[in-house]
Structure 1
Amino acid sequence: MTASAQVMNPGDVRTRKQIRAVFGGSPQGGICPSVDRHSVNLYSDPDVGERVGYYDGWLAEEDELGPVFEYTGAGKSGNQTFEGDAGSGNRAILQHAQQGRTLRVFTRVGKVPGSDTKTHRYLGSFTLDGLEPYVWRRAPGEDGLERDVVVFRLRAEGPVQHAAEDMVPPAKETTAKFVPFQAVTAAMFESEPATSGDLPLPKQRTTKTTKTKKPAPNPETSGTFVVPETFGTKLSLRAATAATVAVRHEAELTQAYKEFLESAGHQTGAFQIKVKGLTSTLRTDLYDATDHVLYEAKGSNSREDVRMALGQILDYSRYVISEKHEGEPKRVILLPAAPTPDMYSLLDRYDVGVVYRSDDGRFVDATTPRG
């Protein structure tokens, strides 16, 4: 605490007053934007999350882009939102790149000896993940009631501290419960670009039923049924890439299919899955609760995307169990156009169906090529 407050590197411990001298922000609160310092300071308190069962921190499971730090949005009880005064902090994170600000993360570590002044360790500077800036989860609030929370996915932007004590703990047990969805809208972002990437649109589905084998009970995982959020937001991109375009196409495709299924009277949703021993939370694209069908959507019909969708749906379907339906769900891949003929034989081998959108905009349910 004797080092100059004007110099701050990852791992340094400072009081909020010292942090404000360097990066600005308000004297209290968890999400603290600063216009003049071009910063959005994110304060995490491990005790707060642990009391209700969720955590901010590094995921142990890295992807091809490296590690992800998860940060839970603002709002201690009730559904979190991006709208109004209650959503101002969450908007500040979502729009940080558009507004020329850097996300900086601090975690509470203790107090100044002999006082009640809290101290915080600086983890470093971050930006939102370009393809999946945030996800929605069901989690309890301080009032003990389950609600929707936004979990931001942060990527390091410069040197960061990646310490063991900042890791999200792995799941120890599982619970399987049906949860109703409390709608949270983000219509305001349809006219306001936010940050890099596209918001993932939760998808929907519909199809025909087929008999499937009964799965062995899996005590290692939990599945929670949740209705998908309806975000149609387009985000401004720092750079146009094939990946971001595919994400946008997937969002548009699934939104259209969602509307198609709902017009047929189907109840749609998704599964939120925790796997014992893992720190990350899995979420399926689409689930048809009416017909017990699981969908995996992709933004293109390329060979690579079909193969990826096949692996994902085989993985997820093991954990999707319904009290109203027997056995595993029917597995279907949702595509923007028909796959190549040889992909049908691959999918048939694993009892996976295909729904694709035809040139005239209709959805075609097919397991063999149409000629």
Structure 2
Amino acid sequence: MLFTDPSRGHQHGYFDGWGADGCYHYCGQGQYGDQEMIRGNLAILNHMEDQRSLHLFRSTARGVVEHLGQFTLDSERPWYTTDAPDTDGEIRSVIMFRLRPVDSTTSEVELPFTPVTSTVVEDVEVEQNNVERMVVNPSSAPRLADRREAQLVTAYRRYLRSQGHEVRRKRIIPAGELKPLFTDLYDATDNILIEAKGTVTREAIRMAIGQLFDYRRYIAPRPDIALLLPSRPRQDLINLCHSDEVAAYAIWPKGDVYATSRD
């Protein structure tokens, strides 16, 4: 028996729901760290050879569940992995099972859970309020950094446009993935991909570099990369950005204009 409660599961990183592919996408067992194919997850995977039937129940009220029917794992792609927060807010890898209803009359589409078959890269307006959060702890620090990043992006976007630059964002859905990636800024005039961070710590700069490397491999022609920061980072971090392996530069506000580490 499998149980799902979308109203409460989100706080533990469980995002279950029907997909446009006709399957119910069911998050595996494990509230902390990367989920593994052990215990309950392994029991779901091996339910056919163990001659066990899968019955899915959804919570409708406290102590009350609705039987959604009997399911079996999809024969072509029984499961996949994706990213989701754990109970403490740290991003981890989770197992998503694709449960196909045994009763073919069962149909309901609540969430578009179907992975794309080929990579999608498209321009979106900067004003769209989509962010890719990299939460590392549940304290107020990530929320404060989010606000600083949003302010930095808004101000720098305004500055670039005042200089006649065409500024957009990129929305990227890698093949086989569910969730889109959103870049912070893309200067189409100079072909520069920009990632903003609300702090100049080593951790933030490392993260920004990793995100830029991830985004850039999907964009053609290959863009230059830059980090938008609230102030000048210390010299060793600038050296990291300028290293041959990274080949990036930093941007930060300086009065009414912006300074860069390549000046």
Contact 1:58 1:168 in 2 (8 A): no
Q: Which amino acid in the other structure matches residue 364 of structure 1?
A: A
Deviations 1:312-361 (A, max 9, x none): 1122111112xxxxx41111110000011011111111210111123x35
- Tell whether 2:244 aligns with 1:346: no
Checking the alignment, whether the CA contact within 8 Å between 2:21 and 2:114 is kept in structure 1 is no
Alignment match, 2:3: 10
Q: Residue 154 and residue 331 in structure 1: after superposition, are their counterparts in 2 closer, same or farther (change >3 A)? A: closer
Distance 1:124 1:281, change over 3 A: farther
Deviations along 1:86-119, whole A, 9 cap, x unmatched? Answer: xxxxxxxxxxxxxxxxxxxxxxxxxxxxxxxxxx
User: Which residue in the other structure is 1:184 paired with?
Assistant: none
Please name the residue that 1:75 is paired with.
none
Residue 173, structure 1, aligned to residue 118, structure 2: yes
In the TM superposition, residue 367 of structure 1 has moved relative to its aligned partner by 2.3
* Structure-1-length-normalised TM-score: 0.42
1:299 aligned residue (198, 214, 223): 198
Deviation at 1:263, TM superposition (A): 1.3
Task: Tell me, yes or no, if the aligned pair for 2:241 and 2:247 is still in contact at 8 Å.
Answer: yes
**What does residue 244 of structure 1 align with?**
143
Change (3 A) 1:276 1:228: same
Deviation by residue 1:115-159 (Cα, 9 ceiling, x = unmatched):
xxxxx952689xxxxxxxxxxxxxxxxxxxxxxxxxxx99788xx
The aligned counterpart of 2:58 is: 122
Q: Take 2:113 and 2:219, find their aligned partners in 1: how far apart are those partners? A: 24
Gaps of 5+ in 2: 8-14, 36-55, 62-82, 88-94, 100-111, 131-137
In structure 2, give the amino acid aligned to 1:241. S
Secondary structure of 2:232 counterpart: coil
**Could you tell me the percent identity over the aligned residues?**
28
Read off the aligned partner of 1:367 and give its amino acid letter.
Answer: R
Residue 366 of structure 1 pairs with residue 231 of structure 2? no
Q: Whole-Å Cα distance in 2 between the matches of residues 266 and 65 of structure 1?
A: 43
Give 1:260 deviation, angstroms. Answer: 0.8
Contact 1:298 1:306 survives alignment (8 Å)? yes
Q: What per-residue deviation string (whole Å, max 9, x for no partner) do you get for residues 47-97 of structure 1?
A: xx459xxx995689x9x8879xxxxxxxxxxxxxxxxxxxxxxxxxxxxxx
The equivalent residue for 1:36 is: none
- CA contact 2:24–2:98 (8 Å) conserved in 1: no
Measure how far apart 1:362 and its partner are. Answer: 3.1
1:225 equivalent to 2:123? Answer yes
Q: Moved runs in structure 1, 4+ residues, more than 4 A?
A: 42-45, 55-60, 64-67, 153-157
TM-score normalized with structure 2 length: 0.57
In structure 2, the residue matched to 1:290 is: 189
Q: Distance in 1 between matches of 2:3 and 2:27?
A: 18
Superposed, 1:60-99 pairs within 5 Å as: none
Q: Is residue 355 from structure 1 mapped to residue 257 from structure 2 by the alignment?
A: no
Separation in 2 of the partners of 1:277 and 1:43? 18
Q: Mind listing any 5+ residue stretches in structure 1 that lack a counterpart?
A: 1-8, 13-22, 24-41, 68-119, 126-152, 175-221, 233-238, 322-326
Q: Give the CA deviation at 1:164.
A: 1.2
Please state how far the C-alpha of 1:11 moved relative to its aligned partner: 4.2
The secondary structure found in structure 1 opposite 2:98 is: helix
- Alignment correspondent of 1:335: 229
